[in-house]
Amino acid sequence: MGLSQLYEFIAAEKRGMVLYSRDPHFVVLGSTENPKFRIDLKEKQLFVPVQWFDEGGLRPQEMEWKIYHELTSYLLLKEEYKYLAHRKDRVMEKAKEFNSWMARDLFPGKDFSQGAVFDYVLNEVRRFYHHLDRITQGVRLAQNLPVYQGEETAELIYQVLVHEGVTDKLENRSTHIQYLYNMEIEALTGFPPGDPGNYELIHRKILGRDTIEFLKDLCNYPQDIRDELFDGYFYPVYLELWIEELEARYKEAEKKFQEVKEEKRLLKVMESMDEEEETIDAVDLQEQDKLANEELDSPDNDDQTAQERKENRIEKEIEEMDKHWSIEARTRAEYEQIKKEINPLRSQMQTFWKEMLRKSLQFKKVFKRPLKKGSLLIDEIVRGYPDYQESMRKGSLNDLEIYGQYQTRIKSMIGVDGIEVTLMIDNSGSMDDIKRHYAKRAMSAMLFSLQDLNSYLLRYRKVLGKRTDIKTQVYYFGSDFEEIKPLSRPQSFQKEEKQWLDLIAYLNGLSGHTHDEKPLRDVYENLNKEQKDLLAKNKLLKIIFVITDGASNDKEKVKEVLAKLRQEKIVVLGVQIGKLTEEELDQFRYIWQEPGTSQGIILGQNLSRLPNLLLGQLGSLLNLTK
């Protein structure tokens, strides 16, 4: 299409475009200054780059779709102006978070304060939202103007994407970028890209539905909620692909570096072959401490070993179990998706637990008879000769540090013998899809993380010198309550898996009102004598987390039972989620935040923070080395 045709089109379609924009003052103008479309929200103008059409060879129908696609962007900007004015803060926060994580965990010891590195990270995070916004524009356009639905328009939309470079050399793009482009191509055209790359990722099921259909539904939500859902379902996949690519690049660079380093090392060895070797007769105390710490990271103790042993049988067991218990495919798909999404959080907590266990070890110098051979420290024996004579007379050398070799004794600083964690989740009618979405992820992240800690405590019990049991429990409450997962330690694979699937399926928001006092009272009334004795002696750590979105139906009864639980030295933490009225907020504060009462946190509508919040509180409460 030539330049003159563009101007003719704008003139001919002026009325239709004004009607579509729902603004009589809105105008569409041709621009020779900018190669991209530009919206001036204040002046109510859309600038169309004339060279984009003059050189692009687009047909009138293709140009028409592109302009209306940009007009849809104008409508979305008007609708969500207040939110979008602060959206850059969300993008910046994610970029800073990932940049810090790269420096701390992905490439420890590397300097990531450089502006160029952060600019790269910021650009990739922006790209994530940009592509999903483009998809939203296309979906909204098809809904507002049904003429752009169906197979007959798929080819013209595809040609616009070709012109924009969306389809250009997909196989050469990074995998996380391929993921976004592939979703955009299929969502807007209804057909897979010609060169799919990692296209299989967008054929997975989300809550039992095709990814693209699920994505199109999300496009109908308000912008803030849409971003939360994008973050929950698509950002973890984008992040995982991005991390895999960075790790692969780093390994390749590291391999080249190691080759050069090895050459230098061999040269150094050859130069020193004629030098006399030093003989070390004793291992000093510091080295022994280091070796004891390394036990926690030895290959024999790696998580992957246990995982590999299970892989051959898990798939068959899952198939048999789902058939035996009539597990719905939708529930299984949601469960598998949740496991995948929380994996980064779970990995972070695994690192935290291992570090906590290392810090719990105390190393002491000891002698054992018969004394191990070691070189006498002459200076020490001369300095302490009177003490030496006295010790010889008493027949004890245990307090004299006159030998250069010692043994170490490892003592665990973890004082408790048992840990019990109970999670209570509101399942009343006000718990909508989004609240349940994040509650399920927070619950799963917490329970899987406790499962990991339990396995570490079991595996390292010889090093720690003791075993500390962890038991978990889950209640759902509404008008009544139900103990979905009884208080117990990990069980057989099938029993654990069935419990997980029940937890996902039964959190459905169909349980009436908010009677949070009932499950709290059930825990209190079922405390046995052994538990009470261990709690009194500080040998049992018992914690209850309560997640609720609404005001309690009887605040006085809740305060009463919380006081009783507190008297038994039980820690109770309440977390409020979702939007509340001032009256409901005052009630939550009265129950949970009054001085001297159990702790309460008001999270409000920052639902995406719930999994991190719960894991942070869990880590703080279980940090037994404080």
Domain boundaries defined on the chain: 1-59, 80-262, 368-405, 418-621
Q: How far apart are CA 93 and CA 426, in angstroms?
A: 30
Q: Are strands 469-477 and 418-426 parallel, antiparallel or unpaired?
A: parallel
Backbone angles phi, psi at 468, to 5 degrees: -115, 115
Q: How far apart are CA 481 and CA 474, in angstroms?
A: 11
Q: How far apart are CA 502 and CA 427, in angstroms?
A: 14
Look up residue 432 and give its two tokens. 């909508």
Residue 405 C-beta-side C-alpha neighbours within 13 Å = 10
405: pLDDT strictly greater than 60: no
pTM exceeding the 0.85 threshold for the entire prediction: no
Residue 279 neighbours by CB under 8 Å, 6+ apart? none
**H-helix or E-strand containing 369?**
none
Q: How far apart are CA 626 and CA 613, in angstroms?
A: 19
Q: How far apart are CA 169 and CA 334, in angstroms?
A: 33
Q: What share of the chain is helix, strand, coil (3-state, %, to 5)?
A: 60, 15, 25
Q: What is the pLDDT of residues 501-536, one digit of tens each?
A: 888 888 888 877 888 899 999 999 999 999 999 999
Q: What is the pLDDT of residues 264-302, one digit of tens each?
A: 554 454 344 333 323 222 333 344 344 344 444 544 444
Most confident of 163-167, 303-307, 443-447: 443-447
- pLDDT grade for 220, boundaries at 50, 70 and 90: confident
487: pLDDT strictly greater than 80: yes
The residue among 57, 50, 11, 20 whose CA lies nearest residue 34 is 50
* DSSP assignments along 215-249, one per residue: HHHHTTS-HHHHHHHHHHHTHHHHHHHHHHHHHHH
> Is the model more confident about 162 or about 4?
162
314: pLDDT strictly greater than 90: no
Q: How far apart are CA 562 and CA 27, in angstroms?
A: 63
pLDDT of residue 180: 86
When pLDDT is averaged across residues 144-150 and rounded to a whole number, the result is 77
Look up residue 241 and give its two tokens. 């692909």
Listed in order, strand segments (DSSP E) in 262-406 are 361-366
pLDDT of residue 285: 35
**H-helix or E-strand containing 297?**
none
Residue 154 neighbours by CB under 8 Å, 6+ apart? 189, 190, 191
Q: Do 63 and 6 meet the contact criterion of CB atoms below 8 Å apart?
A: yes
CATH code for residues 418-621: 3.40.50.410
The residue among 185, 139, 157, 147 whose CA lies nearest residue 59 is 157
Q: How far apart are CA 623 and CA 354, in angstroms?
A: 11
pLDDT of residue 221: 83
When pLDDT is averaged across residues 388-394 and rounded to a whole number, the result is 61
Label residue 193 exposed, middle or buried (CB < 10 Å: 0-12, 13-18, 19+). Answer: buried
306: pLDDT strictly greater than 80: no
Q: How far apart are CA 162 and CA 345, in angstroms?
A: 38
When pLDDT is averaged across residues 347-355 and rounded to a whole number, the result is 86
Listed in order, strand segments (DSSP E) in 193-329 are 205-206, 209-210
443: pLDDT strictly greater than 80: yes
The residue among 183, 181, 127, 145 whose CA lies nearest residue 69 is 145
- pLDDT grade for 20, boundaries at 50, 70 and 90: confident
Q: How far apart are CA 522 and CA 556, in angstroms?
A: 16
State in Å, rounded, how far the first CA of the chain is from the last one: 71
Label residue 36 exposed, middle or buried (CB < 10 Å: 0-12, 13-18, 19+). Answer: exposed
Backbone angles phi, psi at 333, to 5 degrees: -65, -40
601: three-class secondary structure by DSSP: strand
- pLDDT grade for 262, boundaries at 50, 70 and 90: low
